[in-house]
Every structure is written in structure tokens, then in C-alpha cells.
Amino acid sequence: MADEEFVEFAQAAAGRLRDAAFLMCRDWHLAQDLTQTTLAKVYANWRRVRRADDPHAYARKMLLRCLIDQQRRRSSRELAMSAPPDRGEEHPAELRMTLLDAVATLPLRDRAIVVLRYWDDLSVETVAEVVGVSTGVVKSQSMRSLNRLRELLGESRAELFAEERH
Amino acid sequence: MGDVRGRLREDLAQYPAPPLGDLVQQSMVQGRRLRRQRRLAQFGAGGSALAMLLVIGLAAGPLGVGANDTAEPGGLTGGSPEMPVGTTTPSPVQSSEGPPGAEGANDNQQADPLRAGLPTASTRVIGTVRIGAEPGGKLLTTTPEGALELLTRLLPGGKTSGYASLRSGEAAGLGMPYVELHLDRGAGPGMLRLAIYQGGLGGGPAPGTVELTEVPDDCVQNKMVTVHHPSGIQVTLMISTCLVWEGKGTSPARPVLSVDEAIEVAASPIWGTKLPAEFVVTGTKRFSTLARSNG
């Protein structure tokens, strides 16, 4: 049954989709909403999606579109933020910039490329398909983004990405 | 590459994810709604096309009489351009839409064998309340801050904290206030969420109707009290049995409101898409770090 297949797919994909969404937006509530909306769109098109070569890539594409839509609305609509004034210290001790912080400074498309390529471990070709750019753009933006991350994180962490230089 | 992923994984571990809850189930509910809207839109387009054909047919009829050799576009457009071509197009708005929490519950009324193994929700009308007179004076669009301000004033005594503004689902009143807080009445904090939703078309329950949705498998939306207000406004107060905090994970918590208390809060006539200015202004100051203005 198609619905059963979707549930199986969604249960397998939801966690990773939400993690990827969080890495791109850094808000679990928003990530949860984006994931739900993504899966809703996948479900609405399930007959077509299930026949696709890679339904997971399709879902990631939908997630990215949802995030882009959300960013577009952001300027004119309230954005989810949860920064309660009296809920205590949320980020103790760790004052230095993390890679997550650094990724957050990248433009959305570059952030997506970094997350899809290095977190989701997708091929350059698949990332290009998901983001809607050429493979050349994925490669060049990956390099630029990693350089930028190196700068932001400082020399001490440069070695972390040494293997990405070539 | 591995180092980037490893570092991201380390960073991600600093922000424990809340439980997925009934996300998959809710996505199916939302997906069904998208399908319905798409079907209606297609039907609407088809209906408009059919109406157009009827108009053309009606116009062609009289023109055709005694004018067999003039059946050309110019002649047809001279017929009745003011015909109500679009009047057969139904609105794509769904009357069954509800607030973020209740939407799944509504759809759960439909038989669905798929739900086996997924969180199950049941919604029932548990009574009616008298909704008082709407507030007068200057009103401003309800913001999450304003909603939190009013909520904290309506709740029974206790210490509130953990304020957050959430985004409602895409098809469930996106942009409508959806807020969260913790209330501690002396026995430890419990979490509450409140959503305001304005339905589309009429036909919903009468103002004053109170519905209770119970989702035993969902600690966040464990019990949801929805009070239907005039003008299609629905106010849903969710009583959680856990705390969800990004960065702190999830922990069990006692429900901090009884259903009756939740009804009292959700039935306040002050709730609406607009609030008395005082709540919005005070809320903006009090929860200044919460979110930007709705504009």
C-alpha cells in the first residue's frame, strides 16, 4: 500500500531531514516544522516520488525549497525564536565559535551545499541536482565555503579541513 | 570531509533534538490537505473552463441563428462578456482546517488503518462555555509576545518561564500566534502551548463549543483544549506531559493545568487575531528577545 510505503520512508527520513534542517536554520522548532512541511509535500506527491530514482534526494530538494520560502517570508513575518529571558544559561562555557556557528554565517545556498555535501554525504552531482546549480558551482562554492569556515574558526582549526583543500 | 561531518556531529550534540513525536502522522494530515486543495484548485479551473464553454455556447447559440457564416471569434466575443464565468469556482479554503494541534485530530476522525502504530488522537466535544463580550478600545494585531502577555495573565498563579514563539504548520494558519511557556505552580514546571487559529469558511462548531483532543502517545500535545470563539477563531491550549527545550532535550513533567482550567484560559473573550493594545505593547517590552514584531 502506498501509504505504508510512505510511512516507512518518512520514518526513515524524518530524523536526518530534521537534522539537516537544523544545521541550516539552527532552530529545532523551525526544523521540525520544515521537516513536517517537507514530508507533507512528499506525501502529497507520493505516487510520483515513490517512482523517483532517489526519493530521499527529492525530499531534500523539497526541504531546501521550504527553507528558502521560509527565509523569503522572514522579513515580513514573525520568525520563530526561542530565547526566553529567564531560562538560564543555554550555552555555558563554550564561547569560542563552533563549526555550527560558522556555517550559520554562510549564505543559505552555500550553507545548503555544505550541509548536503559534508553532513548528508551526497555526491557533487546529487547536491547540484538538489540545489539546482551546476556541479562546477557546487565544487567551487564548497571550496569557498570551507575557506570561509577556516577563516572564521581560526588557524587552530585549519587542519580540520586540510583534506578539503584539493 | 570526515572531519567536517565529525565536527558538525559534535556541535549538534550540544543541541539535543526534541522528540519527533507525531511528525510523520502530522505530515500525512497536512499532505492530505494539500492534495484536497490541489484537487479543488483543479476542479475550480475545470469548473471555470466548463463555465466558459457554457458562456461560449450560450453566446454562440443566438449568434448562430441566421448567422451561420459568421461563426468566428469576433462574433463570439461580441456576445456576453459579463457572464459570471467564475462563479462556479469553489473556494480552495478548507473548512476543516484547524489549529496546529487540532488539525491532526480532525483528520483522525476519518478511518485510516495506517494509523496503527502511530500516535492516535481522539477529539470530542466536552461542553460549551459562554464567551463574554469582545474587548473594546484600541486593538492591535496579535503578536506572539502579546499572546504570551495575555496567557501569563490568564494562567493561575505560579512562576512562568521558558517562553517561546513557535511556527505553526504551513497549512494550519501559518503566521498565526503559536506560543509556549513553562508554568511552575510549586510542584515543578510543566509546559503549555497555545495556538490561535482563524478558520476559513463558516460551518464549524458554534461559538462556545469546547473540544478536547487527547493524544496519549504525544507528550507535547497530550491534551488539547480548543474553545471556538466568534468569527471562526479557535483557541487551543495544549497541556504537555514533558518539557521540550532545544539544548536541554526532553524530560517528563507533570501537567500543570486541569482541563477545566485550560478551558477557562482558552475561553477568555480577549483572545482573537487582535488584542487590546496594552497586551501587545507590554508583551513586546516584556518578551523583547522573543521575536520581531509582526509588523
Task: Answer yes or no: do A84 and B31 touch at CB < 8 A.
Answer: no
Domain covering A95-166 assigned CATH 3.30.70.360 in the classification: no
Phi and psi for A118 in degrees, rounded to 5? -100, -20
Cβ contacts (< 8 Å) between A148 and chain B: which residues? none
Phi and psi for B123 in degrees, rounded to 5? -120, 135
A2 contacts chain B (CB < 8 A): no
Side chain identity at B271, as an amino acid letter? W
Distance CA(B236)–CA(B266), nearest Å, equals 7
Cβ contacts (< 8 Å) between B295 and chain A: which residues? 76-77
Phi and psi for B211 in degrees, rounded to 5? -115, 145
Distance of residue B56 Cα from the nearest chain A Cα, in angstroms: 35
What is the β-pairing status of strands B178-184 and B274-276? unpaired
Look up residue B83 and give its DSSP letter: S
Determine how many CB atoms are found less than 10 A away from the CB of residue A47.
9
The ipTM estimated for the assembled molecules is 0.80
Let me know: does B23 contact B121? Beta carbons within 8 Å.
no
The answer to whether the Cα torsion of B275, B149, B235, B29 is positive or negative is positive
Let me know: does B32 contact A45? Beta carbons within 8 Å.
no
Burial class of B226 by CB neighbour count within 10 A (0 to 12, 13 to 18, 19+): buried
CB burial string B158-189: b at 16+ within 10 A, e below: bebebbbbbbbbbbbbbebbbbbbbbeeeeeb
What is the per-residue pLDDT across A56-112, written as a single tens digit (0 to 9) for each?
A: 989 999 999 888 877 776 543 443 443 433 433 444 444 567 888 889 899 989 999
pLDDT tens-digit profile, chain B (295 residues): 457 888 888 888 888 888 888 889 889 988 888 888 777 665 544 444 555 554 444 444 443 333 333 333 333 333 333 333 332 223 333 333 444 444 444 443 333 333 334 445 667 889 889 988 888 889 998 989 999 999 999 999 999 998 888 765 433 344 578 888 999 999 999 999 998 876 544 456 788 989 888 877 778 888 889 898 887 788 989 999 988 765 456 788 999 999 999 999 999 999 988 899 999 999 999 988 874 433 2
Side chain identity at B146, as an amino acid letter? G
> B236 has which bridge partners?
B195, B226
B168 CB-side CA count, 13 A: 26
Phi and psi for B51 in degrees, rounded to 5? -60, -40
Task: Answer yes or no: do B17 and A28 touch at CB < 8 A.
Answer: yes
Task: Answer yes or no: do A118 and B8 touch at CB < 8 A.
Answer: yes
List the single residue in A10, A79, A84 with the smallest CB-CB distance to B24.
Answer: A10
Smallest Cα–Cα separation from B198: which of B236, B248, B146, B158?
B236
Distance CA(A109)–CA(A120), nearest Å, equals 15
| In chain A, where the domains are located | 1-75, 95-166
Distance of residue A164 Cα from the nearest chain B Cα, in angstroms: 7
Domain covering A1-75 assigned CATH 1.10.10 in the classification: no
Give the chain B residue nearest A33 (alpha carbons).
B169
B38-43, long-range: CB < 8 A, 24+ apart: B38/A44, B40/B90, B40/B91, B40/B92, B41/B92, B43/B90
Q: Which helix (H) or strand (E) element contains residue B98?
A: none
List the single residue in A23, A76, A86 with the smallest CB-CB distance to B8.
Answer: A23
A58 contacts chain B (CB < 8 A): no
What CA dihedral angle connects B80, B83, B85 and B87, to 10 degrees?
Answer: 180
Report pLDDT for B116: 37
What is the β-pairing status of strands B209-214 and B223-228? antiparallel
Q: Which helix (H) or strand (E) element contains residue B54?
A: helix B23-64
| In chain B, where the domains are located | 23-88, 100-286
